[in-house]
Chain A
Amino acid sequence: MNFDFTDDQQAIKRTAKDLLAQRFKPDVVRELAEAGRYEDSHFAELAELGWAGIFIGEEHGGQGLGTVELAILMEELGYSLAPVPFFSNAAAGLVLEHAGSDEQASRWLGGIASGEARGAAGLTSDGEAALVADADSAAVIVLCEHGGGTVYEASACEIEPVETIDATRRYARVRPSGDGEPLSSDPAPALDRIATALAAELTGICQRTMEMSVSYARDRKQFDRPIGAYQAVSHRCADMLRETESVRSTTLWAAWAAEAEPETLPLAAAMAKAGASDAGWNVTASALQVHGGIGFTWEHDLHFFLKRAKVDGALFGSAREHRERVAELSGLGPAAAAPS
């Protein structure tokens, strides 16, 4: 029993933390978010370092590592709130790696690993995917539904940009307008990994906003005392720690299970994403409360984290949907059919 990262994993974490802290200083994140754009050189650098293909097999130009390594990167990307099309590309890569045919994998994974022909992925309902990150700049779009999915060239889709509250990432509504190719197997193992990756990103957001809150609560004085000395504030911070560490533990478990104990992955991933979706909102909302009025201003950075957390919470299954999966996988049986 050992939760420790290997030396290599620790090195990945350190490198990611240092690099992202340098590249994505708060004023850079703000400038990009306010302009609603990415800096191409940012993603190119991450791809150059092998991040984009970290979990992709070496035969397709990836690093051949696993979900734990992906989760390490995602946590740090969440911590830094890096505006880069990393997650979307990874999501498409995960589906193609785990549910694509050999031909689909050969055709697309190389470009996803190198970052030269990026992918995007989303969940469809009634023939369209309402919220797909970075669909407008992807070469390949994978749309999944329960039990299956289809791979489209971007030109075979109608892509309508959607402005969400999260300005640090670009989103679009996607409707297939041409032919696609079905995946060769059920994308469930990939969707579980995607949920785990989002849970890792939310862990990073929780960690960062908790640190911001603790630091503010130490410095900010009211009634001649640091506000962190008042239990109404300090207990709020203790609850942030509880939620953050719980989500970190559950996410690590899911990431580990992905390769080491695949039969546990569906439950672990559902628990991780349900917990993270809730914690992401609870911790960032609580952080705003600790910051008081300044936390509600546009000039403070907190709102960028809060908004990303809320959108992450909804992507690839909300807390409610993942809790429903937990119920089903834990012996409560399938849910009753919704009344029609």
Chain B
Amino acid sequence: MDLTLSPNEQAFRDELRDWLAENHPGEEPTGDEAGFEFRVGWQKRLHEAGYAGVSWPEEFGGRGATLIEQAIYGEEMARAKAPSTANLLGLVMGGPVVIAHGTEEQKQRYLEPILSAEEIWCQGFSEPGSGSDLASLKTRAVKSEGGWSVTGQKVWTTLAHVSKWCMLVARTDQDAPKHKGLTYFLMDMEQDAVQVRPLHQITGEAEFSELFIEDAYIADENVLGGVGNGWSVAITTLMHERAGLGATAAASVKIALGQLIELAKERGVADDPIVRQGIASLLIEAEALRLNAWRGLTAIMKTGIPGPEGSLPKLQWSAVNQGLTELAVTIQGEDGLAKDSEWTYRFLRARANSIEGGTTEILKNIIAERVLGLPKLR
């Protein structure tokens, strides 16, 4: 056992830390458009330094980082409070899925503009009627001359209004069993047949959109991984780059807990035993999250098989983040409910944490069935 970084890992971290110290672009400007342009600029700078697709193989313009290095990358970005990249979904899902399932032509065509943020990607998986039960989706693609005609509705699509490409899963065979009749497409968003409407969430902002798709055209060459293989391609997309996420999430809640401790002091409740016990519980859960994430990574690197602890970080992160934002709001009493306070936003936004990217209930089903071997209900 050695829970310190190896010399190579330390060198990777130090190099990144030094680079961040010199290149951190500062606070993100307010306003959706200005914020987006800022993140595009930031991603270009990352890309020039080889820090855009850290997990991507070097031959595709990435850094070929190990799982541990990916986790270090996430941790350092969180520590430095670096802005998000403009093309987040392209980097964490789009690129890896093209690398895993794409043809040579697709790799040539799509990968570089993802890294440089020239082309932004979004994800068209969820539908109004298909959330956790994704394979029940109804958006249909019908064969047409040289391509496909797509009609349907997608929801919870981040960055849809600025995206060039949508990773779209649609039903291409109505008669096949539900997991078998799906195909994974790259849909051009720049066509009138795709209408984007902002979806306002409980925080009041519109971080996501709805897509209304009516007879949209997708060329044959934009099928990814073969007709009828959409489910397995989508699953690998969802698995990609989860590796660094646990460590990143742990680093970000640790920062938030530091802010919560400062808040407790400012508000004069740092010696309140209930507040102390509550913060300590969150600190312990956050540490367990960090350790489970790192332990999971080292298990995969050693054996190629994720250990049981690897299934936990997402679940733990959502609980800790919800708990700490709730406590921050509670500590502030009536002031905590002011509409424009920073904690109010985080407190409301955190409600989605146990839904987005796999609900806590679905994650528990996965743990019960795949890790513990309990029987399926279905």
Contacts and interface: CB of A to CB of B under 8 A. Distances in A.
Interface of A: 1-6, 9, 68, 214, 217-218, 225-226, 228-231, 234-235, 237-239, 241-242, 245-250, 252-253, 256-257, 260-261, 271, 274-275, 320, 323-324, 326-327, 330-336
B368 A235 contact: yes
B49 interface: no
A275 B280 CA distance: 10
B6 interface: yes
B288 A275 contact: yes
A3 B312 contact: no
Interface of B: 1-6, 9, 68, 258, 261, 264-265, 270-271, 273, 276-277, 279-281, 283-285, 287-289, 291-292, 294-295, 297-299, 302, 308-309, 312, 315-316, 361, 363-365, 367-369, 371-377
10 contacts: A3-B295, A3-B299, A231-B361, A238-B365, A241-B312, A241-B372, A256-B1, A256-B3, A330-B283, A332-B265
B365 A231 contact: yes
B298 A1 contact: yes
A261 B4 CA distance: 9
B310 to A, nearest CB: 9
A228 B276 contact: no
A238 B4 CA distance: 30
A257 B376 CA distance: 40
Given A237-B368, A246-B316, A3 B276 contact: no
A241 B308 contact: yes
B66 to A, nearest CB: 10
A214 B288 contact: no
Nearest to A250: B288
Given A228-B375, A238-B372, A1 B284 contact: no
Nearest to A210: B372
Contacts of A245: 292, 308-309, 312
Contact of B1 (A68, A218, A271): A68
Contacts of A256: 1-3
Contacts of A249: 288, 291-292, 295, 309
A6 B302 CA distance: 13
Contacts of B367: 238, 241-242
A237 B374 contact: yes
Interface of B is mostly: helix
Q: What 3 A-B pairs come out closest when comparing CB atoms?
A: A246-B288, A249-B291, A234-B368
Given A229-B374, A257-B3, A326-B280, 18 more contacts: A2-B1, A2-B302, A3-B298, A5-B1, A6-B1, A225-B375, A234-B369, A234-B372, A235-B368, A238-B371, A246-B292, A249-B292, A249-B295, A256-B1, A260-B4, A275-B288, A326-B284, A327-B276
Contacts of B294: 1, 3
A27 to B, nearest CB: 27
Contacts of B315: 242
Nearest to B258: A331
Given A234-B364, A323-B280, A242 B9 contact: no
Contacts of A320: 277
Name the residue in A231, A237, A249, A336 with the highest tally of chain B Cβ atoms < 10 Å from its Cβ.
A249
A289 B68 CA distance: 39
Contacts of B277: 320, 323-324, 327
Contacts of B289: 246
A257 to B, nearest CB: 8
A225 B377 CA distance: 9
A237 B311 CA distance: 14
A238 B358 CA distance: 15
Contacts of A241: 308, 312, 367, 371-372
Contact of A271 (B283, B316, B371): B283
A331 B308 CA distance: 32
Contacts of B295: 3, 249, 252
Contacts of A326: 280, 283-284
Contacts of B261: 330-332
A155 B40 CA distance: 76
Contacts of A246: 285, 288-289, 291-292, 312, 316
A336 B271 contact: yes
Contacts of A324: 273, 276-277, 280
B224 to A, nearest CB: 33
A15 to B, nearest CB: 18
Nearest to A9: B1
Contacts of A336: 271, 273
B182 to A, nearest CB: 26
B284 A271 contact: yes
A293 to B, nearest CB: 20
B68 A214 contact: no
B298 A4 contact: yes
Contact of A330 (B4, B9, B279, B291): B279
Contacts of B283: 271, 326-327, 330
A124 B265 CA distance: 33
A333 B279 CA distance: 13
A12 B107 CA distance: 50
B312 A242 contact: yes
Nearest to A248: B309
A274 B280 contact: yes
Contacts of B298: 1-4
